[in-house]
Amino acid sequence: MKIHRGYSRRGLSALIAAGLALGGVSAYAETITEDNHNVTVTDERSNVYGARILVHEARDGSADYHANANTVNINAQGVQDGDLYGAFIEQRAAQAGSNFTAEAKGNKVINQGGAITHATAASVSLTASDATSLNVTVDNNDVSGTGGTYSYVFGGGFGSIAANSGAAKTTVTNNDITIESGTLKDGFSAGGGFARAETRRGAAEAHADKNTVTLRNSSSTNGGYRGGTAYALPSGARATATANENAVTITGGAYSDGRSVIGGSATVLNGVDEILATANANRITLSPASAVWEEVSGGTAEARTTAKSTVTADGNILTLTAGHFEGAVCGGDANADAGSNTAVAAAESNVIYIGGGRYESAIYGGRALTNGTANTTAIARGNIVEISGTPDLSRAQLYGGTAQAAERIITGNALIVRGTKGITAQSIADFQRLTFYVPAGMTESDTMLRVTSTTNTNLKDTTLEAYLPGSSTANRLRLLRTENAQIDTDGATTMTVYEGVSGHRTAKMGVTSDKKELVVKVDGSAIDGGVTPTPTPTPTPTPTPTPTPTPTPTPTPTP
């Protein structure tokens, strides 16, 4: 058994369980393991660890660290302040070595009604000077709680590498924070997974994928939430950052003066080789009625470098049914700045479902931006903003797909108004398809979507569709009205009316002569006409008169 600064390796966790703050060790090309420890907190404690490996300096070659399947339980009487970790690994420095690896898997922090602060299920960080490679894996770690109080910053999984040289790869996946009926205070914020890889000479990879934050029926002030966050910072080599398939779900409860909510965020800074940043297939669900949010983004991907860059924010989904949204809302946000090099930013197939709430700023289905120099391409394609219910959009500007680059590809972005009416928005722009699902019982005095901007609504080269319900509606259906401007169309604008999901009607869609309304006439009559024209009657033929027969003369009698 090795002894490090007076503590036996096997006795380390027992001392940690007692709540002691321990010193570190010096590691000599070895493997250090702290697995399968259980700690229960039943009273007041500070700085609680399920497992802790702290190495001041790694010497003479490689080192390998493991902290797996450790658990910290806090019962209803437990009170913890300071730091709380299911597993903690830190290498603060290293002499020249070949390979450094660390993993933390399956660690848990469980709160059963107690009071906890600064909780992270697993945290791993490696710092080194010169190395061939450094690898950090943080996987399947959980913070969970029912009832109780939660203060300051919480993390599901945290992984970080900082090196002068060597390939750096940090993978933080499948980590979760789940809190039910908790009191979240002191600026509580939460991140499901955080991955950072920084090296001055070598390739850098940071992956924060499939991490979640789930809050149910809880209350908070000044909180911000992120599913997964990845940073890659190389210098002189390639870099990859991914924040894919993360989720933030907040239902019930009250969240006053909230901050930003980001499903997945991937950022690459520096680098001279090929750069890739992706924030794809992330999910956000927000339904608390008593909630205030700043910026909300399903996926944000960014590259700030002079190298060739590809940045994508694709397939993210936002479901927003209640709350007050003070900042911009974006399904997917891709931003590539590659100096004079080639840069591609793509925001594709993102969806925002808006079923309620109040919105104060711009709403983007997808946004793809570059610095606009030569060799830049921005793609905003196939993004959807769908409106249902009764949201307040009167101060919102709705955008389907926005792109900024030397070459722009903007296509297939859709605005869907589904089964609702009386919606007012400040403006709509950058949509290539507008689809209206007319609600049953709609009257001639109703309007599905009203736009108040003084700028014309551009529906040139736009596909316009209306789906009529099987039940009865008025004959004249107002889909869109521009209060203070006009509707612009051209020969490439198409208008189609359907009954249900298929089958053409005799109904007609068109823009009124004053260019202020988009209207459906169910009976197919003129868009500006008020009544159905009376058909010309088929003439009745003149009957042929019956001829009067010539009477037979009576013969003159013979005298």
Could you report the per-residue pLDDT of 104-122, keeping only the tens digit for each? Answer: 999 999 999 999 999 999 9
Q: Are 131 and 94 in contact (CB under 8 A)?
A: yes
Q: Are 311 and 336 in contact (CB under 8 A)?
A: yes
Strands (E), 200-308: 204-209, 212-216, 219-221, 225-233, 239-242, 247-251, 254-256, 261-269, 275-278, 283-286, 290-293, 296-304
Predicted local distance difference test score (pLDDT) of residue 5: 28
- pLDDT reading at 12 higher than 50: no
Which residues contact residue 553 at a Cβ distance below 8 angstroms, ignoring those fewer than 6 apart? none
Q: Are 160 and 136 in contact (CB under 8 A)?
A: yes
Q: What is the mean pLDDT of residues 543-547?
A: 45
Q: What is the mean pLDDT of residues 344-359?
A: 98
Of 83-87, 256-260, 287-291, the one with minimum mean pLDDT is: 256-260
Predicted local distance difference test score (pLDDT) of residue 501: 57
Residue whose entry in the numeric block shows the structure tokens 């009745």: 540
Predicted local distance difference test score (pLDDT) of residue 462: 98
Q: Which has more confidence, 457 or 557?
A: 457
Q: What is the mean pLDDT of residues 510-535?
A: 80
364: confidence class by pLDDT, cuts 50, 70, 90: very high
Distance from C-alpha of 423 to C-alpha of 438, rounded to nearest angstrom:
13
Predicted local distance difference test score (pLDDT) of residue 29: 54
Of 209-213, 303-307, 481-485, the one with minimum mean pLDDT is: 303-307
Q: What is the mean pLDDT of residues 348-360?
A: 98
pLDDT digits (tens, 9 = 90+) for 30-81: 789 999 999 999 999 999 999 999 999 887 678 999 999 999 999 999 999 9
Q: What is the mean pLDDT of residues 424-450?
A: 97
- pLDDT reading at 416 higher than 80: yes
For 144, the enclosing helix (H) or strand (E) is strand 142-146
pLDDT digits (tens, 9 = 90+) for 206-240: 999 999 999 999 998 878 999 999 999 987 788 99
Q: Residue 251, CB half-sphere, CA atoms under 13 Å: how many?
A: 8
pLDDT digits (tens, 9 = 90+) for 74-89: 999 999 999 999 999 9
Predicted local distance difference test score (pLDDT) of residue 529: 65
- pLDDT reading at 473 higher than 90: no
pLDDT digits (tens, 9 = 90+) for 454-465: 999 999 999 999
Of 104, 263, 110, nearest to 172 by C-alpha is: 104
Predicted local distance difference test score (pLDDT) of residue 554: 42
Share of the chain above pLDDT 90, in %: 75
Predicted local distance difference test score (pLDDT) of residue 129: 85
Q: What is the mean pLDDT of residues 442-450?
A: 97
What six digits make up the tokens of 8?
A: 């036996």
Of 144, 126, 146, nearest to 136 by C-alpha is: 126
Distance from C-alpha of 61 to C-alpha of 73, rounded to nearest angstrom:
37
Predicted local distance difference test score (pLDDT) of residue 558: 38
pTM of the model: 0.89
13: confidence class by pLDDT, cuts 50, 70, 90: very low
Predicted local distance difference test score (pLDDT) of residue 532: 35
Of 20-34, 219-233, 315-329, 370-384, the one with minimum mean pLDDT is: 20-34
- pLDDT reading at 4 higher than 50: no
Q: What is the mean pLDDT of the chain?
A: 88
